[in-house]
Structures are given as C-alpha cells and as structure tokens.
C-alpha cells in the first residue's frame, strides 16, 4: 500500500468544500491534480471512495470509513508539527454551530492566560458529536446530550432560545414571540446537528410543516429567504448576525442546556479546567 498525505488531503477537501473545483482552490492545486490524487488513493486501497453525479459528490461506505480515519490522521500530523515547533500541547474543542456565543472570545482569552502551554483550538465540525466521533476534537460543546454509554457529559450552562426570522417577517416587530406564533410558518430544522426538533412544541400544536437543512448555512439561507423560521440557541443569535435576518427571544420555550462532552475511553487531561472555566462564564 502506497498512500500519500496529499491523497488524503484531497479526499477531505472534496467532502469539506463540496466539489473537486472548490477542493482544488482550497488546496492551491489544479482540479486535475485533485482527481489524480483521489484516483491514486482508490487504487491503493482497492475501493471506490466517491459516487459522482452532475450535481453532487457522495461518499461510498468505504469512503465514509476512509474519510473518518483520514481526518484523524491529518489532525494528528498537524498537532505533531505544532508540538515540535512550539513546545506547547493542543486542546481541540469541537462545536457544530455556534461555539459559546457571547462567551467564545472570553473563553479563549481566559484559557490563554491561565494555560499558556496548552494551545486551545476551536474546531467547527458539522457532525452530531462536533468532531468527537470523527477524532478531530478532544472535547466538544453540545446542545443535546450524546450517548452517555460512549461519552462523558457535564452540564456547564443554559441558554435562552431565540427565533430566527426574515427581517420583513410579521413577527419581526415584536420584542419576543411564543412557540405557537413561531409555528405559524414552516420551521427549518437540522436534524443531525441542530438543537431543535418538533418535540419542542406540545403534541397538539406542532408545526404543520418543517424544512430540512444540512447545516447552519443552509438553515440561515432558508430563513433569510422567508421560506421558514427557526428556533435556536442564544449563542447562534449572537454569533450569526446576517443581513435580512433578525432574532427574537421565544419567551415560553424551555432553556437550552449546554454540555461539555468527551470520549469516555479517551478523556482529555484538561477537562476539569475547561468545565470550571465554562461554568464560570455561564454563571
């Protein structure tokens, strides 16, 4: 087997940026080079990585497994390089949507002051466990509890829930809204990584229609176009200010828990310090 790192980087870039063209731009190489590297990887492993159509690129089952391992390997190598050059260790904190909202910058500043020999990296990963399962995060910030047989989970705070809507929405003139009012339009929901499901509403008052989205950008696009409303964490309202979108607090929605989580089989040594700092920020 003769696998090269550039082949793995091409596979990861294709899936992260959605096309061979965008992967080539990100990597600073030609599209033909991306295609050659992927073909070489497939030959080395003896399996097909991707299924390609005129509109999209999809992973095969073998591609899913390879991508997961490739990400782990590339993260390890990047960390190894930084460790060798800087003499510091690295703590990777994953998140899927909005990190810690208004607390994000203060978290980074306080960590740097208290732990100068541990480089804190915030890593956005659009997966249900924010990079824990994929091996690209040591600890994750989650807003729905993962499988506690696999992960250790600690509640570090709670946040209000906000409704995101187009700026010309009839509810935009209000200071706050109710769940019933929000549900008068379709609700955009990211079932994989979002913090909202139809179960947030009472059984007899659930939205008549939902619009599935794949990530925070799809979610914001649907809402900004006036096709839907969305309910999300206070952190999203702080971190994703967009022209044409406004946020209003949902006054009758229960608060949203914020968790710190990590793999039970591989707990980061800095977890206690992270929990204490986060709990202090959330008060």
Residues 181 and 207 in one domain: yes
Report yes or no on whether pTM surpasses 0.75: no
Residue 83, domain member (yes or no) = no
26 forms beta bridges with none
- The parent domain of residue 188 ranges over 161-254
| Helices 31-45 and 20-27, packing angle to 10 deg | 100
Residues 97 and 68 in one domain: no
pLDDT of 242-257, one tens digit each?
999 999 999 999 999 9
Residue 81, domain member (yes or no) = no
Residues 92 and 210 in one domain: no
pLDDT interval class at 85 (50, 70, 90): low
Query: What pLDDT score was predicted for residue 83?
Result: 65
Residues 202 and 232 in one domain: yes
| Adjacency order of strands within the sheet including 161-166 | 176-177, 245-250, 161-166, 230-233
Indicate which CATH number applies to the domain containing 218: 3.40.190.10
Buried b (16+ CB within 10 A) or exposed e, 169-206: bebeeeeebebebbbebbbbbbeebbbbeeebbeeeee
Indicate which CATH number applies to the domain containing 22: 1.10.10.10
pLDDT of residue 263 exceeding 80: yes
Max CA separation in the chain (angstroms):
62
∠ CA 96-6-95, nearest 5°, is: 10
Distance CA 170, CA 20 (A): 41
């Amino acid at each position: 087997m003769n696998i090269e790192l550039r082949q793995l980087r091409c596979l990861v870039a294709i899936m992260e940026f959605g096309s061979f063209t965008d992967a080539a731009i990100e990597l600073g190489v030609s599209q033909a080079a991306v295609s050659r590297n992927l073909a070489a990887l497939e030959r080395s492993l003896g399996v097909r990585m991707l299924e390609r159509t005129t509109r999209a690129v999809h992973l095969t089952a073998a591609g899913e497994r390879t991508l997961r391992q490739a990400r782990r390997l590339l993260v390890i190598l990047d960390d190894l390089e930084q460790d060798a050059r800087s003499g510091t260790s690295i703590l990777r904190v994953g998140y899927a949507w909005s990190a810690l909202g208004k607390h994000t910058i203060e978290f980074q500043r306080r960590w740097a002051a208290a732990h100068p020999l541990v480089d804190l990296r915030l890593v956005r990963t659009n997966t249900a466990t924010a990079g824990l399962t994929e091996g690209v995060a040591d600890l994750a910030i989650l807003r729905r509890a993962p499988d506690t047989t696999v992960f250790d989970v600690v509640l570090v705070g709670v946040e209000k829930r906000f409704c995101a809507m187009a700026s010309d929405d009839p509810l935009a003139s209000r200071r706050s809204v109710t769940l019933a009012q929000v549900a008068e339009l379709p609700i955009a929901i990211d079932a994989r990584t979002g913090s909202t499901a139809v179960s947030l509403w009472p059984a007899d008052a659930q939205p008549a229609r939902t619009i599935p989205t794949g990530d925070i950008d799809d979610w914001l696009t649907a809402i900004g176009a006036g096709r839907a409303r969305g309910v999300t964490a206070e952190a999203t309202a702080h971190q994703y200010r967009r022209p044409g979108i406004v946020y209003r607090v949902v006054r009758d929605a229960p608060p949203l828990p914020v968790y710190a989580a990590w793999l039970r089989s591989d707990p980061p040594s800095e977890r206690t310090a992270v929990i204490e700092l986060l709990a202090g920020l959330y008060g």
